[in-house]
Amino acid sequence: MPLLLNHDDVCASVTMLDAIEAIEEAFREQGEGAITQPHRLNLKAGKGWLRIGPVVMERSRWMGFKAMNLAPGHGVRYQVHLYRAADGELLAIMDALHLTTLRTGATSAVATRRLALPEPTTVGVLGSGVEARAQLEAMRGLGLVRSARVYSLTPAHRERFAAEFSRAWDIDVAPVSHPREAVAGCGIVVAAVKSTQTVLLGEWLEPGTHVNSVGTARPEQREIDPVTFQRSDLVVVDTREGVFGEAGDAIAAKDVIAPERVYELSDLVMGSAPSRTRADEITLFKSVGMALEDIALAARIYGRARERGLGTEIRDFPIVKKA
C-alpha cells in the first residue's frame, strides 16, 4: 500500500547528512549513464504556473516525479510521487516542501566539497529564508563553517537568522547591512535570494572564493551578475539545460560564458571534470534543481519512514490491473 507522508513525516525521516549521501549517490548514478530524465515541463496556469519533473533511475530502480505549482496569493506547493521501477508500484506520495529545501542544500554540499578550499572559513550568506538556512546547514555538515555573516534586505530577518544560528551552533554569525559586507573575506558565499535584483557582484569576489547560487530558477530572477560567471575559473551546474534555460542570471551571462564551457555536477562527481586545482581560483556552482535530486532524496525518505513507522498507509487506494 502506498505511504502518505506529510510535512512533519518528511522532516522526521532524514537529516541533512542523509540528504548529502543520497544526492552524492544520485549524481554518481547519472555519471554512470543510468538515469533517464527529460527536461522538466513548465506550464502557465493563469497568473501562476505548473512545473513537472520526472526521472527514471535505472540502477537503483526508482522512478517518479515532482509536481510544483504557484497560485498567486497561495505560495508554491510541492509534491512527490515515488514508484518502484521494477513493477511500477506506487510507493509513496509525499509533501515535498522540506524535501526541496534539503536536496538543494545537499546538492550544493556535493559540489562544494570538490570546489571550495578544504578548511573551515567564514561563510557569507545572501538571503535569510529556508533555502539560505539549508545552505548554511549543508556547509556546516561538511565541516566548513568557522563563522558566518548574513545579509537580508529586511533587518529583522537577518538579525533573527544570526541570533538563531549563533545560539544553536555556538559560533559567531553576524548580521550585516550591505551584501558586500557578507562577501568580503569569506571563503564560501551562498546566494539564496528569489529576486529580480542582483545581490552578488562578481567584482566583490576575492581569490579563493567558492560561490553557491541557488535562489534563481525563473527567467525574470537575478541574484548574481554576469561578472560572477566571467571571473569564475571553474563553473559547475546541476543541469546545463535547466540553468541556462530557466535561471535569469545564467541566461543573462550567455554573452560572457558559453554553456558548453560549463561542467555538470555528475561530471565533477565522476572525476571527468576538473576540481579546484589552485588556492586562488574562484569557483561557482549554480543550481536550479532537477527531478534526479528530488526522487533520490524521496527514496531515502521513504526507506527511513518505513523503518520508523512514519506516515499513513493509503489502504483504500485502488490498484487496477488489466487482465
pLDDT at 198: 96
Let me know: does 78 contact 97? Beta carbons within 8 Å.
yes
Distance CA 288, CA 267 (A): 17
Q: What is the pTM of this model?
A: 0.95
What is the biggest distance separating any 2 CA atoms in the chain, rounded to whole angstroms?
A: 67
Q: Which three cell numbers mark 160?
A: 533573527
- CATH topology classification for 116-286: Rossmann fold (3.40.50)
| pLDDT of 322 higher than 80 | no
Per-residue pLDDT band at 75 (split at 50, 70, 90): confident
pLDDT at 163: 98
Q: Do domains 3-100+291-313 and 116-286 have the same CATH topology?
A: no
Architecture of domain 3-100+291-313: 2-Layer Sandwich (3.30)
70: nearest Cα among 285, 220, 238: 220
DSSP 221-261: --SB-HHHHHH-SEEEES-HHHHHHH-HHHHHGGGTS-GGG
Domain ranges in the chain are 3-100+291-313, 116-286
Beta-carbon contacts of 109 under 8 Å, excluding residues fewer than 6 positions away, are 16, 20, 23, 138, 139, 141, 142
pLDDT at 1: 85
pLDDT at 229: 97
Beta-carbon contacts of 203 under 8 Å, excluding residues fewer than 6 positions away, are 227, 231
Let me know: does 141 contact 16? Beta carbons within 8 Å.
yes
